[in-house]
Amino acid sequence: MEQRIDTTGAELERQTAPRNHLIEEFLAYLQFERGLADNTVSSYRRDLVQFQIFIDDGHIAVEEATTSNIRDFISSLGGEDTIPAGATVARKVSVLRSFYKYLCREQLTPANPVVPIKSPKQGHKLPTVLNLAEVKILLAQPGSGSPGALRDSAMLELLYSAGLRVSELIGLVCGDVDLEGGYVRCMGKGSKERMIPVGEPALDSVRRYLSSGRPFLGKGVKTAHLFLNRFGRGLTRQSAHRMLVGYARKTGISKTVTPHTLRHSFATHLLSGGADLRSVQEMLGHADVSTTQIYTHLSHERLRDIYFDSHPRARKSPVND
């Protein structure tokens, strides 16, 4: 019977495999030499352990895997009724390619078995973007009635004003927001620091939170984190996500809204307003400008709408009788 791998998170959690020293050395290299974020390293670990489980079934060591073994693994992805998305397969192929490239460089395997394998073509799914009216409605949701509301308002304002990732937002400490200079300093992917301009509404929101919100959250608990929960500890990604989704539901916005939606909206609105691609790339912290270029497509669509709504000869004139 053909072996199939269930790629659901729950099933992978149930599957176990003994720690492989080559995988652990590679993960340590990613973390300590390349400076990849913990979440990225964890993602690499899941994919590599999944592959290890697959080849262990055939009593094959990872350093002895062949191109045929890699192809069999890719074919096995998904359960009985599940076809994994192209992006999922492409990610796993990319992880294996990096892993075996590392093993070859360290002379731990004779050849990279992933070289002949092409990643599947991926469709370009455009990110969800809020229009200006929707952003305004969302940012107004928390109000200013309690310390928690002041915190939530400041968080939403910073997500949109600076285009932060949620991990960057919750990682901020009090000194990271320069209220006088109008900048926020954050640590992005690969432990790369960047400075991003922040608009006055967001700065005002942070000021209100620092004066009337943060001092009342977790009294007596000392921590440098800017955004605190009611116990005085730093927020988690999950709690920040729940907060934003909860406010989005209250607005009645039909789109799927996540913290990253505000980051997408930040970039698209900047480009639509005339910002150049390189500046937006720097503010987003993208290593490659090609990652930022997806937003040019979105802004071009917006420009097209403006053109057809505004230009007197954009559409056919009605035929006169």
Distance of alpha carbon 227 from alpha carbon 72, whole angstroms: 47
Under DSSP, is residue 53 helix (H, G, I), strand (E, B) or coil?
helix
Under DSSP, is residue 7 helix (H, G, I), strand (E, B) or coil?
coil
- pLDDT per position as a tens digit, 106-122: 999 888 999 888 876 65
The full set of domain ranges for the chain reads 9-105, 132-309
Kind and range of the H or E element at 195? strand 193-197
Q: Which of the four pLDDT bands, split at 50, 70 and 90, describes residue 291?
A: confident
Q: Using CA atoms in the order 154, 129, 167, 147, what is the torsion angle rounded to 10 degrees?
A: 20
pTM check: above 0.75? no
What's the token pair of residue 88? 């999922």
Contact 257, 138 (CB under 8 A): yes
Query: What integer pLDDT is reported at residue 114 of this predicted model?
Result: 92
Distance of alpha carbon 173 from alpha carbon 227, whole angstroms: 8
The mean per-residue pLDDT over the stretch 194-202 comes to 92
Query: What integer pLDDT is reported at residue 158 of this predicted model?
Result: 95
Query: What integer pLDDT is reported at residue 300 of this predicted model?
Result: 62
Which residues are known catalytic residues? 165, 189, 260, 263, 286, 295
Contact 129, 163 (CB under 8 A): no
For residues 254-271, one letter each, b for 16 or more C-beta atoms within 10 angstroms of the residue's C-beta and e for the rest, the string is eeebbbbbbbbbbbbbbb
Q: Which of 113, 115, 104 is nearest to 60 (CA)?
A: 113
How long is the chain?
A: 321
Contact 234, 228 (CB under 8 A): yes
Q: Which of the four pLDDT bands, split at 50, 70 and 90, describes residue 211?
A: very high
C-alpha pair distances (Å), 51 with each of 61, 95, 213, 264: 11, 10, 48, 33
Q: Which of the four pLDDT bands, split at 50, 70 and 90, describes residue 78?
A: low
Q: Which of 312, 302, 264 is nearest to 284 (CA)?
A: 264
Query: What integer pLDDT is reported at residue 315 of this predicted model?
Result: 65
Cα maximum dimension of the chain = 82
Q: Which of 170, 196, 209 is nearest to 266 (CA)?
A: 196
Q: Which of the four pLDDT bands, split at 50, 70 and 90, describes residue 195?
A: very high
The mean per-residue pLDDT over the stretch 278-294 comes to 83
Q: Which of the four pLDDT bands, split at 50, 70 and 90, describes residue 10?
A: very low
pLDDT score of 281 more than 80: yes
Query: What integer pLDDT is reported at residue 299 of this predicted model?
Result: 59
What's the token pair of residue 185? 């300093």
Q: Express as a percent the part of the chain with pLDDT over 70.
A: 82
Q: Express as a percent the part of the chain with pLDDT over 90.
A: 38
- Between 5-14, 22-31, 160-169, the lowest mean confidence (pLDDT) is in 5-14
132-309, what's its fold?
hpI Integrase; Chain A (1.10.443)
pLDDT score of 38 more than 80: yes
